[in-house]
Amino acid sequence: MDFLRPASWEEALAAKAAHPAAVPIAGGTDVMVEINFDHRRPEHLMDLNRIGELGEWEVGEESVRLGAAVPYTAIMEHLRGELPGLALASHTVASPQIRNRGGVGGNLGTASPAGDAHPALLAAGAEVEAGSVRGSRLIPIDAFYTGVKRNALAADELIRAVHIRKADGPQQYSKVGTRNAMVIAVCAFGLALHPASRTVRTGIGSAAPTPVRARTAEEFLNAALDEGGFWDNGRSITPSVAQRFAELCSAACNPVDDVRGTAGYRRHAVGVLARRTLAWTWESYRGTAAAEGGV
């Protein structure tokens, strides 16, 4: 095995082009488990820790450009206002030690259906900035997950940053597991209200081969909120609308039975999480809208 230690982004791209099978390692919280247990013996391991910019973020007008290796701890501490859904999701990852090392770039690299960043990114709206010696491109988050633990990156590409839309309304993230810390999701649900565009976006984790949005549920809810004038009148969402939304979120799942839970349980639980996160975010929206004299 060779240990590559690029000192800059350009060096990293050159190394990845020369050795497309090289395995990048950022926090190492996925990669090292595989190496320790002999599940992976790459010829080249490529350390990304020396590339300072990958650990930095920039808050722009519309979005946050989050360096691929910014650890979860920093997201929780510094970006709670701009990225509330992702900050909540980050807090549910593993333990302080893991959150001090692991980050969104690694979560996207692994692309596990159980990765906690994914539902939050899907709900907020995001683009993955991928680079190679050939150039760079922005991959919409909806097109990033291509299969179980597969993503849209080409062999010579690396993730440089993730551009995540700044919250313009309340966001929530909720996860079902057997305990609070150190738990891989049985299923998870992210929801973001976007009052500026009068839309709601969702993200479902651990309940399909890839992280997915519940698109039919979103369309139903967007239409129902619009028809009832809810964004303007700030009324509570009626139980029947919430119920239908939950059913459609359950229907968006394509889960498996495994040691963590059955498919039936996952479908049911996603519906419960959908209803709860909708209630939490909507009540919070009504509160702020009322405080601003909007309703």
Partner 1 sequence: MRVSLTVNGRAREADDVWEGESLLYVLRERLGLPGSKNACEQGECGSCTVRLDDVPVCSCLVAAGQAEGREVVTVEGLAALAGRRAARGAPDGPDGPDGPDGQGGQGGQGGPGGPPGEGATRLSPVQQAFVDAGAVQCGFCTPGLLVAADEMLERNPAPTDADIREALSGNLCRCTGYEKIMDAVRLAAARQGEAVRPCP
Phi-psi region of 153 (alpha: psi -120 to 50; beta: other; left: phi over 0): beta
Residues between 34 and 63 that touch partner 1 (CB under 8 A): 35-37, 41, 45, 47, 49
Residue 93, contacted partner among ligand FAD, partner 1, none, CB below 5-8 A by kind? ligand FAD
Q: Does 159 contact ligand FAD by CB under 6 A?
A: yes
Residue from 4, 15, 64, 68 binding ligand FAD (CB under 6 A): 68
Contact characters 254-283, partner 1, x per CB under 8 A: ------------------------------
How many other CB atoms are found less than 10 A from the CB of residue 33? Answer: 11
Residue 36, contacted partner among partner 1, ligand FAD, none, CB below 5-8 A by kind? partner 1
Judged on CB neighbours under 10 Å (0-12, 13-18, 19+), 167 is buried
Backbone φ and ψ of 62, nearest 5°:
-105, -30
Q: Which residues contact 287 (CB under 8 A, 6 or more apart)?
A: none
Q: With respect to partner 1, which residue has the nearer C-beta, 32 or 251?
A: 32
Rounded to whole angstroms, the Cα distance separating 10 from 254 reads 40
Q: With respect to ligand FAD, which residue has the nearer C-beta, 193 or 204?
A: 204
Residue 158, contacted partner among partner 1, ligand FAD, none, CB below 5-8 A by kind? ligand FAD
Assign 3-class secondary structure to 39-93: CCCCCEEEECCCCHHHHCEEECCCEEEEECCCEHHHHHHHCCCCCHHHHHHHHCC
Structure tokens at 216: 């039919």
Contact characters 87-126, ligand FAD, x per CB under 6 A: ------xx---x--xxx-xxx-xx----xx----------
Q: With respect to ligand FAD, which residue has the nearer C-beta, 107 or 171?
A: 107
Rounded to whole angstroms, the Cα distance separating 130 from 159 reads 4
Q: Which residues contact 240 (CB under 8 A, 6 or more apart)?
A: none
Name the helix (H) or strand (E) containing 106.
Answer: helix 104-110
Q: Does 17 contact ligand FAD by CB under 6 A?
A: no
Q: With respect to partner 1, which residue has the nearer C-beta, 69 or 130?
A: 69
Phi-psi region of 40 (alpha: psi -120 to 50; beta: other; left: phi over 0): beta
We find the least distance from the C-beta atom of residue 73 to partner 1, in angstroms, to be: 8
Residue from 97, 146, 178, 238 binding partner 1 (CB under 8 A): 97
Rounded to whole angstroms, the Cα distance separating 28 from 9 reads 18
Q: With respect to ligand FAD, which residue has the nearer C-beta, 66 or 68?
A: 68
Q: Does 29 contact partner 1 by CB under 8 A?
A: yes
Residue 116, contacted partner among ligand FAD, partner 1, none, CB below 5-8 A by kind? ligand FAD
Q: Smallest Cα–Cα separation from 203: which of 223, 175, 178? A: 175
> Binding residues for partner 1, how many (CB under 8 A)?
28
How far are the Cα atoms of 64, 130, 236 from residue 68, in angstroms, in the given order? 12, 10, 39
Q: With respect to partner 1, which residue has the nearer C-beta, 15 or 274?
A: 15
Rounded to whole angstroms, the Cα distance separating 157 from 149 reads 16
**Binding positions for partner 1, rule: CB under 8 A:** 1-3, 5, 25, 27-29, 31-33, 35-37, 41, 45, 47, 49, 94-98, 100-101, 180-182
Given the rule CB under 6 A, which residues bind ligand FAD? 23-31, 33, 48, 68, 93-94, 98, 101-103, 105-107, 109-110, 115-116, 158-159, 182, 184
